[in-house]
Amino acid sequence: MSPADALHVLAGRGTHPTISTPNGEIDIMQSSEAVLTLARAALAHVPYQGHHLHPTINLRLSDGALILEGEVADIVDKTRAAAQLRRVDGVTMVIDHLRIANGGTPIGDGEVRAAVCERLRSAIDFRNCKICARVKGQLEPVREAVGERSGWLEVSVHDGAVTLNGQVISLSHMRLAGVLAWWSRGCRCVINDIVIAPAEADSDEEISEALRLVLETDPFVDAARISVRTDRRVVTLDGYASSDGARRQVERDAWYVHGVENVINHIALSS
C-alpha cells in the first residue's frame, strides 16, 4: 500500500479523529494544537518595529492553512508576521487577513471602494482592463476597457479590507493593482485574488520587476535613481533620494508588493 493509500481519517468510537500513516496514527487535534503553539511562539520573535502585537490577533488552522486575523500597527509588521509564520513546521499555507490599524479618521467601505476604483481607472497600465465594483453583492461597471480588452478587475471592500478579483496579463500587473489598493485612503488590508493569464512562473526577478513598475507609477519618488534587487523574497534598495520622506516612501512601496518578505533600505540622501 502506498503512503497516499495509507493516509485516511478515522473518527468515532469516542476518540479524537486520527490520521493513519506508515509511521503510526497521529491525533489531529493534538497535531493542530502543536502547530498553533509553534505559530504563537514564532509571532513572539517577530521584530515589530517597537510596536506590540494587537491583543485581538487570532490564529486558526483550516485544512493545513494557517489563517491570520486581527490588527497590527503597519504594513511592515503585517508582512513580517506572515513571513515568520510561513516558516513554521506543519504550516502548508498562510492566509493573511491581518488589518493595519487605522490611525486616521475612519471612512466607509463605499469611499474606500471608490478610491481604489479611481486609482485603477487612472493607471495607464490598466487602460485595457474592464474595471467593476461589487456593491451589496451586485456587480457595477466602473469603466470599460479602452481599446482591445486584455483583462478585467473587480473591487470589493468589507470593513476596510479590499478584495481584488479578476484577470491580468502579468504578475507585475497583479502586484501593481495590489499596491494601488494599498495607496488608497482607508485601505487596511488587501486580499489579492487576481489571476494571471497566461500563467507565469513567479521568481525574485518578477518581484523586482513589479517593484520597478510600482516606483515608476509613484509620483512621489524618482524611480530612475533607485536600484532594486531581490533574493529569496528579500528586497534590497540602493540609490539616492532627495529627502528622508522620499526614501521612506520607496521602502513603504516595497513592503506593499505582494510576495515581499523583508526590505533592506540602503538608499542614501542626495539633493
Domains and CATH numbers, the chain: 28-100 (3.30.1340.30), 109-196 (no CATH), 215-269 (3.30.1340)
**Higher pLDDT pick, 105 / 112:** 112
**pLDDT of residue 51 exceeding 80:** no
Banded pLDDT at 52 (limits 50, 70, 90): low
Would you put residue 136 in left (φ > 0), alpha (ψ -120 to 50) or beta? left
Average pLDDT over residues 244-254: 98
**Which ranges in 28-163 belong to alpha helices (H)?**
28-43, 75-85, 109-122
Q: Which of 187, 186, 164, 162 is nearest to 175 (CA)?
A: 164
Candidate from 20-24, 126-130, 168-172 with smallest mean pLDDT: 20-24
Task: State the Cα–Cα distance between residues 127 and 104, nearest whole angstrom.
Answer: 31
Q: Above pLDDT 90, what percent of the chain?
A: 75
**pLDDT of residue 23 exceeding 80:** no
Checking DSSP bridges between strand 189-192 and strand 161-168, what pairing results, if any? parallel
**pLDDT of residue 84 exceeding 70:** yes
Task: State the Cα–Cα distance between residues 160 and 109, nearest whole angstrom.
Answer: 6
pLDDT in tens, 168-212: 999 999 999 999 999 999 999 999 999 999 999 999 999 999 999
Query: What local confidence, expressed as pLDDT, does residue 236 receive?
Result: 99
**Higher pLDDT pick, 127 / 29:** 127
**Which ranges in 153-203 belong to alpha helices (H)?**
171-183
**pLDDT of residue 25 exceeding 70:** no
Q: Which of 142, 122, 130, 112 is nearest to 166 (CA)?
A: 130
**pLDDT of residue 135 exceeding 80:** yes
Average pLDDT, the chain: 88
Average pLDDT over residues 141-152: 95
The sign of the dihedral angle between the CA atoms of 219, 223, 225, 231 is positive
C-alpha cell at 35: 502547530
Specify the length of the chain in residues. Answer: 271
Rg (CA), the chain: 21
**Higher pLDDT pick, 168 / 31:** 168
